[in-house]
């Protein structure tokens, strides 16, 4: 039976809030729990099955005073699983897919980007404070007791929350708002926090050439799993194109390796985003930063567009990529060449398709995700016309 940690006690929450905002003199008076939907948090749901600790999101309506003035907030306590739990859970999924994938996956299980998920999001909220995350009210890390907590605002009265199965609701305004704000973030991280990537929690799976070359056997095994399990999605032609992309990683990966890197969200899709609305204006909000890493900025754009563009809007992909390029170049002056930018976007798309989609499809083999076939088709559309890379 799972043992409850005292994270729901008033004094503990009061301490969390005061540690985060030391000059606000917060006193917690009353806490009332309420139900929240955990279904969108795929990693938490899967990891909680075999964990002995509480994992997930818990709603808390809190009455408190701030510098003597009364307030009431609906907040969410996010209790994160340790990265080891995620790694082992994903390894179990690989085992369920069959001996061939299981044998390969187990060799790389700690290098697929999930080993430090319990610490990365904490690091970002504590030290980087992106302006478009939910408002954070407290953080708590206790590695000895294996407790990793984030106290954040409860997202209500927002647009497109958990909209992964409703891509048609992403209007042109929503997409461009997201791209504009991501350009601002990517620019900020291009020119600051260079030392962050040297920390142990970031450097073990940096998607550089060495890492990409090392994981080629895993990506081939994930591709074979997708081809065997979903031949209607991974046709012979599509499989051949991706296998050739994997085989040529030493070529295009070298080019990718030399490009400026920024801190990307690395899971930027409608499962982890919404829009706040104030006076008719949209404000993009991205959460669940546990997979963040250092990569070229086009990666987040490639992933988002694969999730929100259905077949009737594939023709708009280039327009959105160009919109983002102009926004990022206006800030940085580094992306004047639209042809080069599009090539780099293509490499980012390949990276998303080879790694993240391979991982998604491994899980999809065991527990189907209704949104995934649409995302796969959109991904293949994103690479169908590019001739500059050795795929033909």
* Mean local confidence (pLDDT), 188-207: 78
**DSSP of 118-151, one letter per residue?**
HHHHHHIIIII--TTSPPEEEEEEETTTTEEEEE
Question: DSSP letter at 350?
Answer: H
Give the pLDDT confidence of 161-190 residue by residue, as tens digits: 999 999 999 999 999 999 999 999 999 999
The pLDDT of residue 127: 84
* Mean local confidence (pLDDT), 128-143: 90
Instruction: Name the least confident of 23-32, 105-114, 197-206, 331-340.
Output: 197-206
Closest CA to 378 of 353, 356, 345, 354: 353
Residue 354 in tokens: 């080879």
The pLDDT of residue 3: 42
Rounded-to-integer distance, Cα 37 and Cα 51, Å:
19
* Mean local confidence (pLDDT), 357-366: 96
Residue length, the chain? Answer: 392
Closest CA to 130 of 139, 121, 141, 138: 121
Give the pLDDT confidence of 266-310 residue by residue, as tens digits: 999 999 999 999 888 999 999 999 999 999 999 999 999 999 999
How far the first Cα of the chain sits from its last, in Å, is 55
The pLDDT of residue 217: 98
Top-level class of domain 159-392: alpha beta
The secondary structure element, H or E, covering residue 283 is strand 281-286
Domain boundaries, the chain: 1-82+117-154, 159-392
For the chain, give the longest Cα–Cα distance: 68
Find how far residue 3's CA is from the centre of its chain: 29
pTM (2 d.p.):
0.94
Give the pLDDT confidence of 143-152 residue by residue, as tens digits: 988 999 999 9
Does the structure show a pLDDT above 50 at 2?
no
Residue with tokens 């305004």: 173
**DSSP of 328-389, one letter per residue?**
HHHHHS----HHHHHHHHHHHHHHIIIIIHHHHHHHHTTS--TTHHHHHHHHHHHTSS--SS
Question: pLDDT band at residue 247, thresholds of 50, 70 and 90?
Answer: very high
Instruction: Name the least confident of 182-196, 214-228, 350-364.
Output: 182-196
């Amino acid at each position: 039976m799972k043992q409850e940690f005292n994270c729901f006690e008033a004094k503990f929450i009061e301490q969390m809030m005061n540690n985060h905002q030391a000059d606000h003199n917060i006193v917690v008076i009353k806490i009332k729990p309420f139900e929240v939907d955990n279904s969108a948090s795929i990693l938490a749901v899967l990891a909680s099955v075999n964990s002995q600790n509480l994992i997930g999101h818990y709603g808390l309506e809190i009455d408190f005073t701030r510098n003597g003035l009364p307030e009431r907030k609906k907040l969410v306590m996010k209790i994160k699983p340790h990265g080891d739990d995620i790694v082992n859970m994903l390894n179990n999924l690989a085992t369920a897919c069959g001996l061939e994938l299981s044998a390969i996956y187990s060799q790389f299980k700690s290098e697929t980007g999930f080993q430090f998920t319990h610490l990365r999001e904490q690091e970002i909220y504590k030290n980087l404070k992106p302006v478009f995350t939910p408002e954070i009210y407290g953080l708590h890390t206790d590695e000895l007791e294996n407790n990793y907590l984030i106290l954040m605002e409860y997202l209500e009265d927002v647009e497109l929350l958990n909209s992964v199965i409703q891509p048609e609701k992403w209007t042109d305004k929503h997409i461009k708002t997201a791209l504009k704000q991501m350009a601002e973030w990517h620019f900020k991280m291009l020119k600051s926090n260079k030392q962050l990537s040297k920390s142990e929690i970031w450097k073990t799976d940096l998607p550089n050439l060495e890492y990409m070359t090392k994981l080629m056997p895993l990506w081939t095994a994930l591709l074979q799993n997708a081809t065997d399990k979903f031949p209607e999605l991974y046709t012979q032609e599509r499989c051949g194109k991706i296998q050739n992309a994997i085989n040529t990683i030493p070529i295009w990966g070298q080019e990718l390796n030399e490009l400026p890197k920024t801190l990307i969200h690395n899971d930027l899709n409608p499962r982890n985003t919404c829009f706040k609305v104030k006076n008719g204006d949209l404000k993009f909000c991205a959460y669940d930063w546990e997979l963040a890493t250092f990569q070229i900025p086009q990666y987040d754009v490639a992933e988002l567009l694969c999730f929100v563009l259905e077949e009737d809007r594939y023709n708009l992909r280039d327009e959105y990529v160009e919109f983002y390029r102009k926004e990022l170049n206006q800030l940085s002056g580094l992306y004047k060449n639209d042809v080069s930018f599009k090539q780099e976007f293509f490499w980012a798309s390949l990276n998303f398709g080879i790694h993240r989609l391979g991982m998604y499809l491994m899980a999809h083999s065991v527990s189907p995700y209704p949104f995934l076939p649409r995302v796969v088709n959109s991904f293949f559309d994103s690479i169908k016309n590019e001739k500059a890379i050795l795929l033909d």
